[in-house]
Amino acid sequence: MSDITPLENLGEFGLIRRIQETVTLRQPSTRLGIGDDAAILAPEAGHDLVVSTDLLVEGVHFDLTFCPLKHVGYKAVAVNVSDIAAMNATPTQLVVGLAIGSRYSVEAIDELYEGMRLACEAYNVDLVGGDTTASRGGLTISITALGQVPHGQAVRRSGAQPNDLLCVTGDLGGAFLGLQVLEREKAAWSADPDMQPELSKYPYVLQRQLRPEARMDVIHELRDLGVVPTSMIDVSDGLASEVLHLCKASGTGARVFSENLPAANPMLEVAEEFQLDPIMCMLNGGEDYELLFTIPLKDHDKIKNHPDITVLGHMTDASDGVNLITKQGQPIPLRAQGWQHF
């Protein structure tokens, strides 16, 4: 980066004006964006609203050693949009809170907002407000996203029935293996700052980790197909953890067939290089931001040829438990081994 302008040169109000100038408003329901005590929205008639919030903390959720701020900004928006998608809703607005450590320059914050701006464009969502403050440590990003869904069509975690098909979008485990690559290269670089990180060999898993996408495409396609999931959640902590959430909320069990787990070839190659079990990567990896959902058996024909939807198995009575079924047909109880922050 060539220019380094200290944030105190701008001040809080100057920074807000700078952000405000780059924002484009697209949603008809946005009446007033950044610049007042609150944004004003006029929700579309006949719709319910959904609201979700996420924090991304430097050193916990992202590491600027290997993650460009533009990607951090994009990902911060995408993971919030993913929560909106998981309700079967369409994102409309978001607000952003930033606590900024003293080593951040105006140019660094510009990079972060550029990533958020790109994601807002990709998901057609308006940045309508925020708060910026100093922090004593690193960067903390708080995003709250709003979305809308036709009245009564929001999909909860709790609606699955025994015999519903359990489906997932895309493929799994890639984001976790991308993180393994980044951490290995960081460790090597820490030991020898002259080394060149070996990243170009791993474009797929790195993209999965650094710049995930929310699956709004699938939400729109399901709507076009006339399929309303009976339950849904996004895969942030890992598939096993999310299956358990759906089962607990719905009062069901589930059978997940291990040979159905969707693996991408680049993920399998990296798993082999790291001598990690790809099944475990797919079950417990986390951060894939795919959608896990259930549909009635009668809708199977509508989705069976969809290239981005895989049927993992089906829901059962709660008394059957929540099991991974091995190739040999043996049930193994699923355990959540997702993120442990504390």
Cite the annotated binding site by residue number. Answer: 37, 52-54, 61, 83, 113, 130-131, 157, 234, 236-237, 287, 339
Q: Taking CB under 8 A as the rule, which mask of x and - marks residues 25-44 in contact with a second copy?
A: ------xx--xxxxxxxxx-
Is residue 267 within 8 A of residue 278, CB to CB? The reply is: yes
Q: Closest separation between CB of residue 42 and a second copy, Å?
A: 5
- Tell me the closest approach of the beta carbon of residue 177 to a second copy, in angstroms: 23
How many residues contact a second copy, by CB under 8 A? 74
The nearest distance, CB 75 to a second copy, in angstroms, is 15
> Residue type for 210, please?
L
Residue 146 or residue 160: which is nearer to a second copy going by CB?
146
Binding-site member from 50, 127, 222, 270 for a second copy (CB under 8 A):
50
- How remote is the C-alpha of 252 from its chain's centroid? 25
Question: Which positions from 282 through 341 interact with a second copy, judged by CB under 8 A?
Answer: 339-341
Q: Which of 234, 287, 288, 290 binds a second copy (CB under 8 A)?
A: 234
CB within 8 A of 32, min separation 6: which ones? 39, 40, 128
215 is a contact residue toward a second copy (CB under 8 A): no
Which of 96/271 has CB closer to a second copy?
96
Tell me which stretch binds a second copy (CB under 8 A): 97-105, 252-260, 296-304, 305-313. Answer: 97-105
Query: Looking at 76, 95, 125, 334, which residue binds a second copy (CB under 8 A)?
Result: 95
Dihedral of the CA atoms 6, 8, 14, 15 (nearest 10)?
Answer: 60
Site residues for a second copy, window 239-268 (CB under 8 A)?
A: 249
Coil, strand, or helix at residue 50?
strand
* 2-9 long-range Cβ contacts below 8 angstroms, 24+ apart: 3/105, 3/107, 4/105, 4/107, 5/105, 5/106, 5/107, 6/105, 6/106, 7/100, 7/104, 7/105, 7/106, 7/109, 9/106
Of 20, 144, 207, 260, the residue at the interface with a second copy (CB under 8 A) is: 144
Q: Which of residues 64-93 bind a second copy (CB under 8 A)?
A: 83-84, 86-87, 89, 93
Rounded CA-CA distance 15/109 in Å is: 9
Q: Are strands 140-150 and 47-57 parallel, antiparallel or unpaired?
A: antiparallel
> Contacts with a second copy in 170-209 (CB under 8 A)?
none
Is 108 near a second copy (CB under 8 A)? Answer: no
Residue 214 dihedral angles phi and psi, to the nearest 5°: -75, 140
